[in-house]
A and B are shown apart, each in its own frame.
Chain A
Amino acid sequence: MPMRVLVVDDSGFMRKRIIEELRGQGHSVVGEAKSGVEAIEMYRRLRPDLVTMDITMRDKDGITAAREIIGEDPEANIVFLTILKDEKFKIEAEKLGAKGFINKTDHQSIAKFVQEMDRKQ
């Protein structure tokens, strides 16, 4: 069953790449947010099955936004897609209860993760 996904990234071309990847797998992208603030607002409104979250963004970073989203909805499925390999972000993401922490250029891992999430749904 296709998942409803919210894509959060401040870079337009990166959102486009992620969206193409997800649509290629038959999933539905229900919204795009380019900041943490937008992500929280859109999550409240759209209640997607999965959120792909960037970390470094203006206004509000991905970690803070994810914390707020999970604070409101502990069942939220959030995966961090980032280029940053900093271990502290990964630890922080795990602490928050994020479902994954993947390099956003690693399309194979993203595809595999989304397939697994889809199976669990």
Chain B
Amino acid sequence: MEALTNRVKVLERKPMTAIERGYLWEIFRGMLITFRHMFKKKPTVRYPEQKRTFSPVFRGLHVLNRDEEGRERCTACGLCALACPAEAITMEAAERLPGEEHLYREEKYAAKYEINMLRCIFCGLCEEACPKDAVYLTETFAPANFQRDTFIYNKKDLLIPDPVTDPEGFKKARGTRYGSPEVK
């Protein structure tokens, strides 16, 4: 058959030389290769002790952000849920009552906010959709678990620690990704 493209490579099958057929020398060469590999550097990352360094645009678990005074930023506008291609986010809005100004920044807030981490594809579209900078993806990733319902994260799991009472925890939870030039 005529070749259809010019990329055909004709395979040359040479008969084996006497040394190759003798087999022992070839085994010896193979064993040298495996022996050399014993002293190579191992690429293994010993996970719980060592962790891979993530790229600056790594998208991990979500966090619900607070402002500098510790008030929740989320206004339950629902844009994140709308943007979510996996339909992983559900929320219920509630009105801020008088005397709750120190808890919620705007007059409306999310009374219930749930993300199903098994549905989530970590695309980060919720973060892009959020006008209030309230939801964004951190550098932590979802831990393994035995029950499915533990993967539905509610507000308690998602809320970032209060920067006023727990500045250390706040900084740690926010990580280095927030506000870095690669992201925004």
* Pair from one complex: no
B residues near A (Cβ < 8 Å) are none
